[in-house]
Structure 1
Amino acid sequence: MDLDALRALIVADSATRGQPISKLGYFCAPFRPASGPFANKVIKVYRGLSDETALERLAACHDDYAAALRTAGVPLPCTAFLLLPIEGRRVPVIVQDALPNEAMMRPLMQSGTRDETVAMMEAAGDVIATFWNNADQFKTRIGFHPSIRNFAIIDGNAVFFDTFPPLIHYSRAEMGKMLLQFSDKALMRWVGPLVQAKVTGIQDEWYSPAETLVGLVGSACRLRPHDAGAYLEWGRDFTRRRMQRWEDEALLGMVEPPRLPGYWTGFRKLLGLQGEPNV
């Protein structure tokens, strides 16, 4: 990988490096260059830290997390994590093989027929169930964030592509702090410490097998409320077929269309993060 070319691309203006491919992100706005050696890559640039020990740990945890996802059977594009020196400090950068724009699950869920979207839910659910049924082998705290916007659908299969923050090894309190440290929004870093307990709670769904499935169903219900009944029916059936270990908790969460906590939707609106109606 040409690190000098990557560094020049990151510090270039947006017209040179390419416009962001998504504005839905909490941590950064990924971009894909229109041309050059990184034209087939998506580049994600995160906030740097002055704490070198924390940066080294972050890099190690990311490598462990990407390896764990693959070991657990999660399809993941080729993904490299770098601590790239830029303007006197090391900045976390992820370089990932780009997936086709037309394969992103969220817009496909918006445009597809009901049957097509249920098939996409099955594909995403398969990844969720596969991960959690294989996660016992990791003797450490590990989570997963399989939201609709973190999947692509390729040849009928779901491909997951979100590896930041690396949901492995960090304690609940440590991850809560990371949600503030690496937020792309200065307002969140300023306001967040005043409501640290609420911010810390954002992650809890990612570490619960049942809640990751319920979260997927809830997101689909909010994205296409007229099809909510079909998604609830699918979710209950899928739970009984593929996630029996967590059946009681998951079914309890799908009695009616799941809702997000009010404090999280409030944060997203305060920060101007796009994503309605499935924030």
Structure 2
Amino acid sequence: MTDLAALAETIRRHEAAQGQPISRLGYFCTPFRPADGPFSDRVIKVYRGLGDEAALDRLAKAHDDYVAALLDAGVPMPATEFHLLQTDDGRVPVVVQEALPESSLMRPRMQVEDLASTLEMMEAAGQVIARFWNAADRFGTRIGFHPSIRNFSVVAGVAVFYDTFPPLIHYSRDEMGRMLLLFSEKRLMRLVGPLMRRRVTGIQDEWYSAPETLVGLVGSACRLRPEHARAYLDWGREFATREMPRWAEEAISGMTETPKLPGYWTGFRKLLGLQGEPNV
């Protein structure tokens, strides 16, 4: 069982030292890995707290259900725990996750490895996407998946997924749209976002669509390695037919050329200074 007092002390020491984060992506938090101590083999993600205790309890239950659903669907994941940690400012959500080798992160590998290797990683990630969506119907609730390149490591040829927050289960589309604002680490997003709530809410739509998650993966690969875009598009169309026939027609229609990010999303990224770094 996790020693929550030791976890709280680890977080306090990290914040006091303003330690080096291992990711600067910062949609919802800046993950860190302690250099020493009982959590040196873990990545810690501390999220913003909420004043609504019932909403926090619902979030904890949703996170437990989401991790269970991902595992049940056959999604490879590192050991993951969710805690509502008591602080001077109230309870805050904390995810503690088994650390994966930095050398296994898919995005940096996609940037530097040869075409054959990157296609192998695409196949590994695609298999996880197909496995999830082919199982999703049995959960009987609104459930989504965000299998972007930055949310995978590839270890011994297996794509390991590690993005469990916010938990994409049970919440309605409008509720998830509000969560994207409530838990944003960027104050500017929380201030400006409500003025563009409809567009912020739309960010999530790809995560709840089987064909769009595959198209999103291929689009990211094409943007990372434009010199290989044709090969990635060919792979994506063939993979959709082979492994996701229920959604092949829609997926293939999105991969006739390099998929583009929606204009409002690229605008938000620029506004917030977000980079496509691994969301470890």
Category of TM-score, reference length = shorter chain: over 0.9
Deviations 1:41-88 (A, max 9, x none): 000000000000000000000000000000001001110000000114
Cα distance in structure 2, aligned partners of 1:171 and 1:11: 34
Write out per-residue CA displacement over residues 187-243 of structure 1, whole angstroms, 9 at most, x where no aligned residue.
000000000000000000000000000000000000111110010000000001000
Quote the residue 2:36 is aligned against.
Answer: 35
Task: Confirm whether residue 206 of structure 1 aligns to residue 220 of structure 2.
Answer: no
Distance in 2 (CA, whole Å) between partners of 1:275 and 1:95 is 22
Distance in 2 of aligned mates of 1:149 and 1:71: 22
Question: Retained in 2: the 8 A contact 1:18–1:32?
Answer: no
Alignment-mate amino acid for residue 156 of structure 1: G
Runs of 5+ consecutive residues of structure 1 not aligned to the other structure: none
AA at the equivalent of 2:249:
D
Q: Which amino acid aligns with 2:168?
A: L
The residue identity in structure 2 corresponding to 1:72 is: A
Q: Aligned to 1:99, what secondary structure does the other structure show? A: coil
Alpha-carbon shift at residue 11 of structure 1 (Å): 1.9
Q: Is the 8 A contact 1:72 1:130 kept in 2?
A: yes
Alignment partners' CA distance in 2, 1:11 and 1:261: 38
Q: What's the C-alpha RMSD, in Å, of the aligned pairs?
A: 1.1
Deviation at 1:275, TM superposition (A): 2.2
Q: Report the CA distance between 1:2 and its aligned residue.
A: 1.5
Whether 2:69 is the aligned partner of 1:81: answer: no
Q: Which moved more, 1:9-18 or 1:111-120?
A: 9-18
Write out the 4+ residue segments of structure 1 that deviate beyond 3 Å after TM superposition: 13-18
The aligned counterpart of 1:195 is: 196
In the TM superposition, what whole-angstrom CA distance separates every residue of 1:104-132 from its partner, at most 9, and x where no partner exists? 00001011001100100000000000000
Residues 10, 17 of structure 1: 8 Å contact kept:
no
SS of corresponding position for 1:23: coil
**Is the 8 Å Cα contact of residues 45 and 92 (structure 1) preserved in structure 2?**
yes
CA distance in structure 2 between the aligned counterparts of 1:40 and 1:7, rounded to whole angstroms: 16
Task: Determine helix, strand or coil for the equivalent of 1:12.
Answer: helix
Cα separation, 1, equivalents of 2:195 and 2:87: 31
* Shift of residue 245, structure 1, vs aligned partner: 0.2
1:12 deviates by 2.1
Q: Higher mean Cα deviation, 25-34 or 190-199?
A: 25-34
Contact in 2 for aligned 1:17/1:32 (Cα 8 Å): no
Aligned mates of 1:203, 1:175 — CA distance in 2: 8
Aligned equivalent of 2:263: 262
Determine what percentage of the aligned residue pairs are the same residue: 68
Q: Normalization by structure 2: what TM-score? A: 0.97
Q: Please name the residue that 2:167 is paired with.
A: 166
- Aligned residue number for residue 187 of structure 2: 186
Give, in angstroms, the shift of residue 18 of structure 1.
Answer: 4.2
When structure 1 is superposed on structure 2, of 13-22 and 59-68 the one drifting more is 13-22
TM superposition shift of 1:15 = 7.3
Aligned partner letter, 2:252: L
Bigger relative CO (Cα 8 Å, ≥ 6 apart): 2
1:195 and 1:17 map into 2 onto residues whose CA distance is 32
- In the alignment, the residues of structure 1 paired with residue 203 and residue 220 of structure 2 have an alpha-carbon distance, to the nearest angstrom, of 15
The answer to whether the Cα contact below 8 Å between 1:7 and 1:84 also exists between their aligned partners in 2 is yes
SS in 2 for 1:4: helix
Task: Give the unaligned 5+ runs of structure 2.
Answer: none
The 2-side partners of 1:106 and 1:100 are apart by 13
Equivalent position of 1:50 in the other structure: 51
One-letter code aligned to 2:23? S
SS at match of 1:76: coil
Question: Are the aligned partners of 1:152 and 1:160 in contact in 2 as well (CA < 8 Å)?
Answer: yes
Distance in 2 of aligned mates of 1:127 and 1:25: 25
Aligned to 1:220, the other structure's residue is in SS state: helix
User: Take 1:10 and 1:16, find their aligned partners in 2: how far apart are those partners?
Assistant: 10
Secondary structure at 2:96's aligned position in 1? strand
3-state secondary structure, aligned to 2:84: strand
Q: Which amino acid aligns with 1:151?
A: F
Say whether the 8 Å CA contact 1:46–1:91 is kept in structure 2: yes
> Aligned partners of 2:14 and 2:154: how far apart in 1?
31
Q: Is the 8 A contact 1:17 1:34 kept in 2?
A: no
